[in-house]
Amino acid sequence: MTAAGMTAGGPFDTVFGDTLACDELRPAAFLPGALDQAQIQALWTRGEMLLRALAVVEDSASSEEGEPPADHAVLRIEAKLDLLTALVATLAGNHGADPLRALRWSSQGACLGVDASIPVGTVGRLRIQPADWLPSPLELTATVHGCDIGSDGKPRVWLRFGPLSAALGAALERHLFRVHRRAVAESRRAR
């Protein structure tokens, strides 16, 4: 599927290429501003921890087995503690709620609506709430690879993620696969 105004080889291909992309409505914002290497590594660590903890909690909640094995129960408790720690840290930071935005994202990047055009080449980070039940945000370093006007007549940016650690990239791919799997299951139930 191609986006309006995007040509082959343009921002659409750079951001999505042949990867799995998910369409969601999520609290999200692009925050322009360069980060130093220590800040980037801190984002990698927090992002990986958040996505791994979400995976443990969501996978255990959807498990159709009776009683989880003891090892799995310990992993689930540890994941919940990690999420609680991230939530407390977020509340202490108190960045405020981001607006709900329609976005398409993949493990390579995202396209989302913004309030004003942002120049190509602007570096910053995408802040997104990856789960409805957890207000703790995921922050991913990104660069603007395109800016155009969406079908709603408002500006949108095409963000290319990076740099991302290999572990964070893998955790993001798994998270988006779970999002996609849930969307397919919901569409089948709606039929």
Domain boundary assignment for the chain: 11-190
- 189 φ/ψ sector (left φ>0, alpha ψ -120 to 50, else beta): alpha
Least reliable range by pLDDT among 87-91, 113-117, 165-169: 87-91
Q: Is the pLDDT of residue 93 over 60?
A: no
Confidence of residue 113 (pLDDT cuts 50, 70, 90): very high
Q: How many whole angstroms from its chain centre is CA 32?
A: 17
> Looking at residue 61, what is its pLDDT?
60
Confidence of residue 5 (pLDDT cuts 50, 70, 90): very low
> Looking at residue 66, what is its pLDDT?
52
> How many other C-beta atoms lie within 10 A of the C-beta of residue 159?
31
> Looking at residue 1, what is its pLDDT?
33
Residue among 133, 121, 129, 135 nearest 105 (CA): 129
| Residue 82 to residues 62, 79, 85, Cα–Cα distance (Å) | 19, 5, 5
Enter the pTM of the model. 0.80
| Residue 36 to residues 80, 124, 141, Cα–Cα distance (Å) | 30, 11, 11
Helix axes 37-61, 166-190, angle to 10 degrees: 40
pLDDT tens for 134-174 read: 778 999 999 999 999 988 899 999 999 999 999 999 999 99
Confidence of residue 132 (pLDDT cuts 50, 70, 90): confident
> How many other C-beta atoms lie within 10 A of the C-beta of residue 191?
4
> Looking at residue 75, what is its pLDDT?
80
In Å, the largest CA–CA distance within the chain is 53
